[in-house]
Amino acid sequence: MNTALVGIVMGSDSDLALMAESAKVLEQLGVASEMRVLSAHRVPEDLVKWIRDIEARGCKVFIAGAGMAAALPGTVAAHTTLPVIGIPLTSSSSALGGLDAVLSIVQMPPGVPVATVGLNGGKNAGVLAAQIVALTDASVSEKVAAHKAKQSSEVLAKDAKLQEKGYKAYLEEQK
């Protein structure tokens, strides 16, 4: 098995579908990752044990996602000097639609940063983690560049289609 360069952790298996977006894009960018369900509130000691273990195995960056009073990314940041990317998640148990998690993750005290992506921003967290890995890995850097170039050509193709068909025909196709 490849060394996991990115440690992905979530507070509950109810977060899995959203967190899978990070794993998916990391796979596309050729970055090995490992996923765990380890809640900061429910299994705090197991969480710290995993952080120590994956760091010792060569992890370079963490992605942590949680909903509600989302302490997980900040707790990971408290226990590591590696960069931590936080993903606030909507949770079916939340009455606040994810705003609770946004505030919990983004408002870290000075000196303990969590790089917070948008609500349910699993894909962006994965791309950002790959960009961090790419700083010291030329093959990942090439894949990130190719990924961005592909995105650009997709948008330009859409614009060309809009110019060719006009907005009414384009809208019809989208129905």
Of these, 7, 11, 121, 126, which contacts ligand RP5 (CB under 6 A)? 11
Q: Answer for the pair 64, 115: CB distance below 8 angstroms, yes or no.
A: no
Using the contact rule CB under 6 A, the part of the chain among 8-16, 73-81, 102-110, 164-172 near ligand RP5 is 8-16
Pure H helices in 7-121: 16-28, 44-56, 72-78, 99-106
Residues 6+ apart with CB under 8 A from 140: 29, 30, 31, 130, 133, 134
Q: Is 15 in the site for ligand RP5 (CB under 6 A)?
A: yes
Using the contact rule CB under 6 A, the part of the chain among 12-20, 76-84, 130-138, 145-153 near ligand RP5 is 12-20
Q: By C-beta, is 93 or 174 nearer to ligand RP5?
A: 93
Please give the Cα distance from 81 to 129 (Å, whole number). 15
Please give the Cα distance from 92 to 118 (Å, whole number). 18
Q: By C-beta, is 5 or 87 nearer to ligand RP5?
A: 87
Q: Answer for the pair 62, 80: CB distance below 8 angstroms, yes or no.
A: yes
| Residue 87 DSSP class | E
Q: By C-beta, is 69 or 82 nearer to ligand RP5?
A: 69
Q: Footprint of ligand RP5 on residues 87-146 (CB under 6 A)?
A: 89, 91, 93
Q: Is 67 in the site for ligand RP5 (CB under 6 A)?
A: yes
Q: Is 68 in the site for ligand RP5 (CB under 6 A)?
A: yes
Q: Which residues in this chain contact ligand RP5 in the complex, by CB under 6 A? A: 10-12, 14-15, 39, 66-68, 89, 91, 93
